[in-house]
Structure 1
Amino acid sequence: MILVEKSLLKNNPHLHIVNKSEQQKKLPFIIFNHGFTSAKEHNLHYAYLLAEKGFRVILPEAIYHGERGQGIEEKNLYSHFWEIVIKTIHELNDYKEYYVNEGLADEEQIGLAGTSMGGIVTLGALTKYKWVKAAVSLMGMPAYEEYLHWQLEQMKSIGISLSFTDEQIEEQLSFIRPFDLSLQPERLENRPLLFWHGQKDPIVPFHLTYQFYQSIKDNYEKTPANLHFISDAQADHKVSREGLKATVEWFEKHLLK
């Protein structure tokens, strides 16, 4: 039986998913982050399949989302996007520390994954946390600076009036730059990394992710099995069944002893 528990850590809600027969054991541990305007419950199918394989999985709630919502309208939430991303990255360490200290997570078998914004969080976290042993980015991208500029251009193109000054934009860039994996790919240190991305994605541009993948392939020359990119020519901003299955198989391959 797979258990789904609602838990709190520092007043932040998350779901804890584990096989009941292994509830008190030290297990391989995966943190799975949800997307922008989504919520933790929307990724339960990933957590269920991973728990069946022997993982302990948590699904955190990002600030301003789900149970942590503060009544901000979706159109106004966009101005908080990078605040949410960076805060989520910082909060990942709290979850890791708690579950390791409680003897419920094996520090040598920790994975990180996410969809869309959650994939962006995952790739940014790889610049900061060496305890991430394997990762999966589903519709995410690592080029924080390029994506911010792309977002600004998109808003202009659809007629949204920008109230940001050049100084505010530079301040935002300075805020996110330390987490931009495309500027410091050496921080990957050949850790297993899987990408899934739809070529027709209108939200997180496919080319930003694929260009990065191509740029780091040589770094994995001695460990080619640790890097893989699944490109779906027909998909937009929705992960396919293939992407779901590949996520589970990736962590089975690279985290289970």
Structure 2
Amino acid sequence: MKEIVSKSFVNHIYNQGQSSREKTIIIFHGWGSSVNNYVELAEYFSSLGFRVIIPEIIYHDTRNKLENHFLKEVTQEYFWKTIFKSIDDSTLFFEELGVSEKEVILMGVSMGGFIASGIYANGNNFAGLININGSGSFLLSEKIFRENDQRPDLTGEELNELKAYNPIGKSISYTPILLMHGEQDTIVSIEGQKDYFNFLTECDANYDVVFNVYKDVNHSFTDEMLINLKQWLEDKF
């Protein structure tokens, strides 16, 4: 069953009957993607007993959608704006949904992984975090983006803004975290995910963090990833 709720945000909600696990998975999609690309995944998680919500992200779908996300200058101008705005909006987002953090598993794919990690780092009661082919190390990832595009280094102002949102350096609650990444990812380097994993495990070896690396996988979500994700959800929730 799908319901569209519209207040300040447009959310697509999937809940097949009673949510037996009493947890809500919120899925943040990737750059240039759409809610529509995640319907099948949402319905699958719903069939496992989770309530699933896919929020429309600024500059996508009905929220001032950009004409061409993949023009290099468009990506460079709006990628981080989208992430920061989504993190900033999250408090109001949860208030309007009437969902408590302790019931929420944040999940993000690619850009959505950046968003989910940023929101998770600002909270203290989320049930869990799933970051697929994204990054929780904003500074390192942006440095790699710039190196790949042969752009100048960050200005002081840009550096300070990224530091303010960067999950690295912020306290993390002791709830399960799953990081998944294709080893050959040419879009979002796995190095950002590695850096975030190292931060989490070096802070405290007791953090419940799993980092799965997929050999010979580029920037994609594979069947093997889905199988591993399902097993992780079964084990933890």
How high is the TM-score relative to the length of structure 1?
0.82
- Contact persistence 1:122–1:135 (CA under 8 A): yes
- Contact persistence 1:27–1:106 (CA under 8 A): no
Match of 2:201 among 205, 217, 239: 217
RMSD: 2.4
Q: Runs ≥4 in structure 1, deviation > 6 angstroms? A: none
Kindly state the Cα deviation for residue 252 of structure 1 after the two structures are TM-superposed: 3.6
Q: Deviations over 1:154-183 (max 9, x none)?
A: 211xxxxx5x7x7x7322222221221223
Question: Matched residue of 1:183: which SS?
Answer: coil
1:207 aligned partner, one-letter code: E
Instruction: Find the counterpart in structure 2 of residue 242 from structure 1.
Output: 224
Kindly state the Cα deviation for residue 240 of structure 1 after the two structures are TM-superposed: 1.0
- Contact persistence 1:64–1:72 (CA under 8 A): no
Distance 1:56 1:243 in 2: 21
Kindly state the Cα deviation for residue 26 of structure 1 after the two structures are TM-superposed: 10
Instruction: Find the counterpart in structure 2 of residue 183 from structure 1.
Output: 169
With over 3 angstroms needed to count, the CA separation of the structure-2 counterparts of 1:176 and 1:133, relative to structure 1, is: same
1:216 aligned partner, one-letter code: L
With over 3 angstroms needed to count, the CA separation of the structure-2 counterparts of 1:190 and 1:238, relative to structure 1, is: same
Alignment of 1:26-105 (within 5 A): 27-74=22-69, 75=71, 76-78=73-75, 79-100=77-98, 105=99
Match of 1:14 among 6, 11, 29: 11
Distance 1:140 1:14 in 2: 22
- Contact persistence 1:133–1:191 (CA under 8 A): yes
Question: Matched residue of 1:68: which SS?
Answer: coil
Q: Deviations over 1:63-89 (max 9, x none)?
A: 111222444432143111111001111
Alignment of 1:156-167 (within 5 A): 156=150
Kindly state the Cα deviation for residue 107 of structure 1 after the two structures are TM-superposed: 4.8
Q: Aligned residue pairs: how many? A: 234
Distance 2:126 2:217 in 1: 28
Instruction: Find the counterpart in structure 1 of residue 157 from structure 2.
Output: 171
Distance 2:66 2:118 in 1: 27
Distance 1:115 1:171 in 2: 28
Percent identity reads: 21
1:87 aligned partner, one-letter code: K
With over 3 angstroms needed to count, the CA separation of the structure-2 counterparts of 1:81 and 1:106, relative to structure 1, is: closer
With over 3 angstroms needed to count, the CA separation of the structure-2 counterparts of 1:215 and 1:108, relative to structure 1, is: closer
Instruction: Find the counterpart in structure 1 of residue 182 from structure 2.
Output: 198
Q: Deviations over 1:189-248 (max 9, x none)?
A: 33210011001001111122123323433545345xx21111101100001112223333
How high is the TM-score relative to the length of structure 2?
0.88
- Contact persistence 2:60–2:66 (CA under 8 A): no
Distance 1:99 1:89 in 2: 16
Instruction: Find the counterpart in structure 1 of residue 210 from structure 2.
Output: 228
Larger radius of gyration: 1
Question: Matched residue of 2:201: which SS?
Answer: helix
Kindly state the Cα deviation for residue 124 of structure 1 after the two structures are TM-superposed: 1.3
- Contact persistence 1:120–1:137 (CA under 8 A): yes
Kindly state the Cα deviation for residue 150 of structure 1 after the two structures are TM-superposed: 1.6
Q: Deviations over 1:108-133 (max 9, x none)?
A: 32110010000011111122112322
Work out whether 1:137 is the aligned partner of 2:137: no
